[in-house]
Each structure stands twice: as structure tokens, then as C-alpha cells.
Amino acid sequence: MDNEIKILVCVDLSDATEIIMEKTESLAKRLSAKVWLLHNALPEPGKVEFKVDPIAAREDLAKRYHDEHRQIQELAQRLRDSGIESSSLLVHGATVESILTEAADLGVDMIIVGSHGRSAMFQLLLGSVSEGVLHKSRLPVLVIPTHKRG
């Protein structure tokens, strides 16, 4: 029977990622956990409109996906270098649903997300990934605040 704790860590590759990585590394070491780092590359390739210069737009998008893939792989390697078993995942799709699907497919015990602490109006208009995961997940969700309090 596998008693290893498995954690899915969601990163958006913004400045907030560093805070999430520091907390994840500390927690994963204490729990001897396996970590999957997940980044949802948006927009989905099939949903992009290429109005001005379709070839240039596709090339820019491909470069961005390549860069994001490299970044998430480097983050996983950083965890491995510190003794934590880690893998990286780059997915496409609706963010909350992608997170929940991957969590179920991987059989993780916990999901870690960051909270940017954006304004109430932003939350009202666009919603929040961390909020969506909290409301829809059947797993424990650790929300790491990544904003600076004044």
C-alpha cells in the first residue's frame, strides 16, 4: 500500500510562484511528499484568434508555451535537487476544471493554490481560481496568500 502523501501545486509562473514554491518545499520536506507542479497555459491553442498575422501569432504562442514548459520543468528540478520527488505538468483548458481533473487523475491528497488578494471587484467580475478550487474540490486545499499586505 502506498502511504506517500501526494500534493498537486498550482503555479501561474507570476511573481507569486516563488512564494508558493518556498511554502511547498518546506511542507513537502516535512511530509516526505511527492509533488506535481501544474501550470495551466492559457489560452487553449484551438481558441486563439489570429486576426492580424496568423503565422506570427502562432509562432508567438508556440514560443510562450515552450517558455512556460521550460519554466515549470525548472521548478520541478529545483524541488528534486532539494530531495523532493517532483514532476511538472503543463495543461490547457478551463483552469479550475483542469486542476480538479488532474488532482483526481493523479490521486493526490491535497491541492495547493496561491491567492493574489485582488480587489473585490476583480473577484466579482472574473472570479478566482483559488476560490473555484476551494468551492469545487473534495480534497483539502491549502491556499497560500501571495500578496503583500499593507
DSSP sequence for the chain: -----EEEEE--SSTHHHHHHHHHHHHHHHHT-EEEEEEE-SS-GGG----S-HHHHHHHHHHHHHHHHHHHHHHHHHHHHTT--EEEEEE-S-HHHHHHHHHHHHT-SEEEEEE----HHHHHHH--HHHHHHHH-SS-EEEEE-SPP-
Give the pLDDT of residue 49.
56
Give the pLDDT of residue 1.
44
| Domain membership flag for residue 75 | yes
pLDDT band, residue 120 (cuts 50/70/90): low
| Domain membership flag for residue 132 | no
Whether residue 119 is predicted with pLDDT greater than 60 in this model: the reply is: no
Angle, nearest 10°, between helix axes 129-136 and 95-106? 50
| Domain membership flag for residue 120 | no
pLDDT band, residue 102 (cuts 50/70/90): very high
pLDDT band, residue 43 (cuts 50/70/90): low
Whether residue 67 is predicted with pLDDT greater than 70 in this model: the reply is: yes
Whether residue 105 is predicted with pLDDT greater than 80 in this model: the reply is: yes
Task: Compute the average pLDDT of residues 39-64.
Answer: 72
Give the pLDDT of residue 27.
97
Give the pLDDT of residue 24.
97
| Domain membership flag for residue 125 | no
Whether residue 14 is predicted with pLDDT greater than 70 in this model: the reply is: yes
Which residues form the domain of 62? 7-12+31-92+103-114+141-145
| Domain membership flag for residue 44 | yes
| Domain membership flag for residue 1 | no
| Domain membership flag for residue 74 | yes
The count of structural domains within the chain is 1
Task: Compute the average pLDDT of residues 5-33.
Answer: 94
pLDDT band, residue 126 (cuts 50/70/90): very low
| Domain membership flag for residue 127 | no
